[in-house]
Amino acid sequence: MSIFVDDTTKVVYQGLTGSQGRFYGLLNRDYGTQVVAGTNPKKAGTDVDGIPVFASVKEAVAETGATASCIFIPAPGVRDAVIEAAEGGVELIVCITEGVPAHDEAWFFNKLRRDHPGVRLLGPNCPGLISPGKANVGITAGHIAKAGGPVGIVSRSGTLTYQALYELKQQDIGVTTCVGIGGDPVPGTSFIDCLAAFEADPETRAVMMIGEIGGSAEEEAAEFVASSMSKPVVAYVAGVTAPPGKKMGHAGAIVSGGKGTAAAKMDALREAGVKVGLNPTEAGELMVEVVAALD
C-alpha cells in the first residue's frame, strides 16, 4: 500500500496556469498522477493541455471529484488558497510554495485543526510526496524512486528527500511512499504523523527518516518510535558541522541555547533504537541491512 496518495488520488492544481504550476502539473500527469483540474478565477473555462481550469477548488471538486490539492500560488496568496482548498472539499492539501510568513502558517494550521480536522496539510515549503508507480504530487523527480516497497521515507529536507530515494534505488530497494514534510517552523504534517501512518501501513516494513538541525521534531519523533513503532527505523540528521546559532537553509533550522543540534537529535534517536547513519549513503547502507533482516 501507500500513505496519503495512490493511483486513485485525483488532484487539482491551484496555480496550474502559472509557469511552475503548469510545468509540474503536466510532469506529474505524465508520471501517471490523476491531475484532473486547475484553478484560476480569471481563466475559468479554459484548459492547460487538456486539463480543465475552474474558478475555485469547490467547483473543481464538484466537476471532477478531486480529493487532493497541490498549491503553487505565490506566498502572499497561500493563506487564502489553503482555506479555499479545505472549504472546497479536498482531503489532502500539498503546499509547495516557499516563503510563506510564519504568522500565516500558524494561522491556517490552527484553523484547519479547529474547523477542518479531516483535512491533511503537507508543507508549506515542501517537495510534496510520491508513492512510486502510483502518484507523484509536487516537485519530486519520479525517475529516482523505485516502486514496490518495503520502505517508507519521511524527510524535512527537500534535497535530502531526493537523495534518500536515490540511495535506496541504487541499492535496489523500493519505496511505498516518500513524504517531504518541509522545514518551515509550522509544518502541516509532522514526523510523528508520517511515522504513525507508516506503522499502520501493512506494506511498509521499515522507515527511513531524514532530519536536520533546529527545533525538537526529531526528539519528539524518537519518543514516538520508542513508544509506538514496531517497525525498524533508519535515520540521518543533517547539520553536524553547522555553526551554533546559525540559520541553515530552512526557517525551522535554527539552533539556540544548545538545543536542536544534530548531535542531540542523533543521540535521542539512537536511544530510541533507531539506526543512525552519519551521511545519506551510510543511512542507505544501514537500510540494506535492515531490509535483509526482514526476510
| Confidence at residue 248, expressed as pLDDT on a 0 to 100 scale | 54
Phi, psi torsion values for 21, nearest 5 degrees: -60, -40
The CATH number that domain 141-294 falls under is 3.40.50.261
Other beta carbons within 10 angstroms of residue 61's beta carbon come to 21
Please write the tens of the pLDDT for every residue from 128-143.
999 999 999 999 999 9
| Confidence at residue 28, expressed as pLDDT on a 0 to 100 scale | 98
Q: pLDDT over 90 for what percent of the chain?
A: 88
Q: Is the pLDDT of residue 254 over 70?
A: no
Give Cα 119 distance to the centre of its chain. 15
Q: What is the mean pLDDT of the chain?
A: 94
| Confidence at residue 261, expressed as pLDDT on a 0 to 100 scale | 87
| Confidence at residue 1, expressed as pLDDT on a 0 to 100 scale | 76
**Catalytic amino acids?**
250
Q: Report d(CA 43, CA 250) in Å as an integer.
A: 34
| CATH architecture for segment(s) 10-122 | 3-Layer(aba) Sandwich (3.40)
Q: Is the pLDDT of residue 97 over 70?
A: yes
Q: Is the pLDDT of residue 10 over 90?
A: yes
CA distances from 275 to 86, 87, 123, 177 (A): 38, 41, 26, 20
| Confidence at residue 242, expressed as pLDDT on a 0 to 100 scale | 63
What average pLDDT does this structure show over 27-54?
98
| Confidence at residue 214, expressed as pLDDT on a 0 to 100 scale | 86
Q: Is the pLDDT of residue 104 over 60?
A: yes
Asked, colleague to colleague, whether 10-122 and 141-294 share their fold, the answer is yes
- Taking alpha carbons only, the member of 185, 12, 18 closest to residue 100 is 185
Q: Is the pLDDT of residue 246 over 70?
A: no
| Confidence at residue 258, expressed as pLDDT on a 0 to 100 scale | 53
| Confidence at residue 149, expressed as pLDDT on a 0 to 100 scale | 86
> b/e for 143-161, b at 16 or more Cβ within 10 A?
ebbbeebbbbbbbbbbebb
Residue ranges of domains in the chain: 10-122, 141-294
Q: Is the pLDDT of residue 243 over 60?
A: yes
| Confidence at residue 249, expressed as pLDDT on a 0 to 100 scale | 54
Question: pLDDT band for position 260 (50/70/90)?
Answer: confident
Please write the tens of the pLDDT for every residue from 230-241.
999 999 999 776
Question: pLDDT band for position 29 (50/70/90)?
Answer: very high
More confident residue, 149 or 100: 100
Q: Is the pLDDT of residue 174 over 60?
A: yes
Q: Is the pLDDT of residue 219 over 80?
A: yes
Give me the torsion for CA of 138, 181, 129, 222, rounded to 10°: 170
Terminal alpha carbon distance of the chain:
19
Question: pLDDT band for position 42 (50/70/90)?
Answer: very high
Task: Tell me the residue type at 25.
Answer: G
Task: Say how many residues make up the chain.
Answer: 295
